[in-house]
Amino acid sequence: MAKLTTQFTLALCSPTGLDTDREAVRQAVFEVNRFLSVEGKQVQVKGWDTDVRPTVGTDAQDVVNREMIDTADIGLVIIGDTVGSPTPRSPSGTVEEARSFIRRRKAGAAIDLMLYFKLLPIRYDRTALDRLAAIVAFREEMQSEGVFWREYETDAQLAESVRTFLPAAIRGLQTETSSRLNDEVPLAALTVSERKEIEEGVLDQEIAFADAMAILSDAAVAIGGHATRATDRMSPIVEEIRASGSKPRDAKKLRRVVNDLGSVLDAYADALSAETEKFEGSVDAAVNATIAMVGFVGSGELPTDAAELAGLEISISEARAGMLSMAKGTRESAEVVQALPNMTKELNAAKRRVTSESQRLETTVTRFSDRLAEVGQAVQERLVALNASKLLPGLGG
């Protein structure tokens, strides 16, 4: 069935002085959109620094509100070492924007607020302490409004958090905007079209997850094959090097076989690099599909909730085991390469390339394995909650 693209708008809110942080968010949203496009969804980022046209309003913040805040689906608010400059209505424009999202949500709008605080060293001068006091006051206000925020230290941590949680936020908005799809509506009360919408949404995520895992599996097999072929090709060459090394008069032959070994290692490094690129994109897709599926299945109240999540938990566990096994095999291959004799500059450079690409792959595998572990924990918690909700009515009777 053909699907129209659903557009969501994310208002990027922050005081000045957070340029690299804002760019990190934009890059993270760009990466999330590659995954969301499969579902027919896209997130458009709007910021006061790029998308507010020059015009006249009650004041400058009023213009920003009309142009960007009042129609946004998600507000992503970042606070660094200051809440920003005051407006006629609030301690700062950023504070006013956050309050606007809370006010609209209380009024029933299907919107969300993602709040981030940057952890920075404390300066002990009067101006810095005044700014800190304003930040503390804002945090306390947001806490009283029921806002859960996250903290970060680096742009990379901020981007990683956005990549992890934005798909779930989009899924939550989609659920809220469906006229009757919420936790208070029993499955029997849903129309046929509403049930079909839920089932198709879950199916989309299952397909995305399965496709991503298939690519992951292919990448793992390919990497293992490259390692095996490289080892098979190296063995006779290494033996020839050892034989030639005992006969200095065979210097020309020794040079040839050393060059052959360098070519094998270069080819292996190229293969590792190519497969790591595929691997990174596929794991991102698998993680994001899983996060979205957990939120969507749980809110949809499908009869197959527990079965869907139990199967997903198994798939995640198997995926992690496969990734860690692949990392171990790659590390062992790199150790074999490092044990080769240092003969020429070219050979040594090829050995370093293999080591570098192997470490890159292992780092990627470990990072995404940790992400999948977090998602797996969320799946497990959702599954426990679902099972508990089924048992409690019986206990009460």
pLDDT digits (tens, 9 = 90+) for 154-182: 999 999 999 989 988 888 886 665 443 34
Question: Quick one: average pLDDT of 201-224?
Answer: 62
Share of the chain above pLDDT 90, in %: 27
Question: Quick one: average pLDDT of 380-395?
Answer: 57
Please tell me the predicted confidence (pLDDT) of residue 181.
38
**pLDDT greater than 90 at residue 84:** yes
Highest mean pLDDT range out of 4-8, 322-326, 352-356? 352-356
Top-confidence residue, 210 or 302:
210
In this structure, the chain runs to a length of 397
3 state SS of 112:
strand
Closest CA to 99 of 134, 131, 70: 70
Question: Quick one: average pLDDT of 315-328?
Answer: 71
Residue 11 pLDDT class (50, 70, 90 cuts): very high
Question: What is the spatial distance between Cα 276 and Cα 35, in angstroms, rounded to a whole number?
Answer: 18
Q: State the CB neighbour count (10 A cutoff) for residue 27.
A: 15
Please tell me the predicted confidence (pLDDT) of residue 189.
45
Question: What is the spatial distance between Cα 347 and Cα 353, in angstroms, rounded to a whole number?
Answer: 10
Please tell me the predicted confidence (pLDDT) of residue 170.
87
Please tell me the predicted confidence (pLDDT) of residue 330.
73
Q: What is the dihedral of CA 236, 241, 244, 246, to 10 degrees?
A: -120
Average pLDDT, the chain: 75
Closest CA to 285 of 368, 228, 392: 368
Please tell me the predicted confidence (pLDDT) of residue 39.
72
Residue 143 pLDDT class (50, 70, 90 cuts): very high
Please tell me the predicted confidence (pLDDT) of residue 333.
72
Report the predicted TM-score, pTM, of the whole model to 2 decimal places.
Answer: 0.48
Highest mean pLDDT range out of 198-202, 249-253, 310-314? 310-314
125-129, 248-252, 271-275, 347-351: which has the minimum mean pLDDT?
A: 248-252
**pLDDT greater than 70 at residue 305:** no
76-90, 174-188, 206-220, 232-246: which has the minimum mean pLDDT?
A: 174-188
Please tell me the predicted confidence (pLDDT) of residue 74.
94
Over residues 54-64, the pLDDT tens digits come to 888 889 999 99
Question: Quick one: average pLDDT of 73-79?
Answer: 95
Residue 396 pLDDT class (50, 70, 90 cuts): very low
Question: Quick one: average pLDDT of 298-304?
Answer: 44
**pLDDT greater than 60 at residue 397:** no
Over residues 97-140, the pLDDT tens digits come to 999 999 988 887 788 999 999 999 877 788 888 999 999 999 99
The structure tokens 């009757």 sit at 180
Decide: residue 383, CB within 10 A, 0-12 exposed, 13-18 middle, 19+ buried.
Answer: buried
**pLDDT greater than 70 at residue 46:** yes
Top-confidence residue, 92 or 267:
92
Beta bridge partners of 11: 46, 75
Residue 351 pLDDT class (50, 70, 90 cuts): confident
The full DSSP string for 152-167 is ESSHHHHHHHHHHHHH
